[in-house]
A and B are shown apart, each in its own frame.
Chain A
Amino acid sequence: MAHFKLPRWFHQLGSPKWFYQFAGLLQPWLALISLVLLFWGIMWGLLYAPADYQQGNSFRIIYVHVPTAILSQSIFMMLAVAGAIGLIWKIKMAFIVARACVPIGASMTVIALLTGAIWGKPTWGTFWQWDARLTSTLVLLFLYLGILALYQAISDRQIAARATAILSLVGLVNLPVIKYSVDWWHTIHQPATFTLTQKPNMPAEMYLPLIVMVSGIYALFVLLLLLRTRNEILAQEGRSGWLTKLLQEGHA
């Protein structure tokens, strides 16, 4: 597959120097966008959206639970795909991006789990319920923690990047299988409660804030990713000439 030709911008992104500077230009805009969207979404969800007729005000937790849950999955997908790109086309930047994804994704998963559990208290009466979605989010957290542990176990950055790329790819192909089997297991052992987020025909004033929050948190993710990637470039490219020059000019 290595002879497959990639577009030019892809290789430009693959150059740490170019990426470092481009990300620096993008940062303030992303910060602005995510700040506005998240502020707007939080205010709308917390104070203006109507309460649910069944769950009351605890329904407002949806506006942090669902976006973090969505992100926890798509970040995992992204880090596995970035790892695959690194393995196939031998692009160092792809490994760096994958590395930067892991702690962000893990923190999103933790928040998705915690908010799910807290939401469970007023809805189910207990903090934890072996609900299919919570269970598969827990498994996702284990996958993230495994990747983090593998990074820490291998001291050589190059080798650690390749090993974790393989690990996350196997995790990615397994993810739907695990999700499906947990769903199947859940339908057998169904507890007599209603699920957190399954809601037919949510009215517009309820799902519009959700859309704002989801887009805001995506913008935040890209911002965090760029910041972490730049840090990683600083750590790995320390001795290259362009960085020394930037440092001397005080623009790093």
Chain B
Amino acid sequence: MYFQSFMQAFHMNGHGVYVWGCYGLFLLMIAWNFWRIRKQRQLQLRRLLQVRSRQENG
């Protein structure tokens, strides 16, 4: 590892906020993408099931 201790890795000579913030934003973006996709998929599946049950009942 480049850093001697975890505190040092966290602090990064004062640049820690920026660096960790950027990586955090990056992970947030990935999470947002997966969350949107999951929500859309559930919505579509529910809609399809509704259509099917309507066809079966009527």
Which A residues are closer than 8 A to B by beta carbons? 42, 46-51, 56-58, 60-61, 64-65, 68, 103-104, 107-108, 110-111, 114-115, 118-119, 121-122, 220, 224, 227-228, 230-231, 234-235, 238-239, 243-244, 247, 252
CB distance from A49 to the nearest CB of B (A): 7
Of the A-B pairs whose beta carbons lie under 8 Å apart in the complex, a sample of 21, sorted by A's number, is A46-B9, A47-B9, A51-B2, A56-B12, A57-B15, A58-B19, A64-B25, A103-B36, A107-B29, A107-B32, A110-B29, A115-B25, A118-B25, A122-B18, A227-B34, A227-B37, A227-B41, A234-B41, A235-B40, A244-B48, A252-B48
CB distance from B45 to the nearest CB of A (A): 7
Which residues of B have CB within 8 Å of A220?
Answer: 30
- Flag whether B7 is at the interface (Cβ < 8 A): no
Which residues of A have CB within 8 Å of B1?
Answer: 47-48
Closest to A45 in B: B23
Interface range for B: 20 to 34
Are B48 and A111 neighbours in the complex by a CB distance under 8 Å?
Answer: no
CB distance from B48 to the nearest CB of A (A): 5
Closest to B20 in A: A46
A247-B52 contact given A107-B32, A115-B25, CB 8 Å threshold: yes
Complex CA gap A227/B23 in Å reads 24
Which residues of B have CB within 8 Å of A110?
Answer: 29
Closest to A205 in B: B2
Which residues of A have CB within 8 Å of B52?
Answer: 244, 247
A56-B15 contact given A47-B1, A103-B36, A118-B21, CB 8 Å threshold: yes
Q: How many A-B residue pairs have CB under 8 A?
A: 97
5 extra A-B contacts, CB within 8 A, seeds A118-B21, A121-B18, A122-B14: A51-B2, A60-B12, A111-B29, A122-B15, A252-B48
Closest to B49 in A: A247
Complex CA gap A112/B13 in Å reads 24
Which residues of A have CB within 8 Å of B18?
Answer: 58, 61, 118-119, 121-122
Are A234 and B44 neighbours in the complex by a CB distance under 8 Å?
Answer: yes
CB distance from A167 to the nearest CB of B (A): 22
Which residues of B have CB within 8 Å of A65?
Answer: 22
Identify which of A42, A49, A68, A224 contacts B33 (C-beta below 8 A).
A224
Are B33 and A115 neighbours in the complex by a CB distance under 8 Å?
Answer: no
Complex CA gap A178/B50 in Å reads 48
Are B15 and A64 neighbours in the complex by a CB distance under 8 Å?
Answer: no
Which residues of B have CB within 8 Å of A48?
Answer: 1-2
Closest to A248 in B: B52
Which residues of A have CB within 8 Å of B32?
Answer: 107
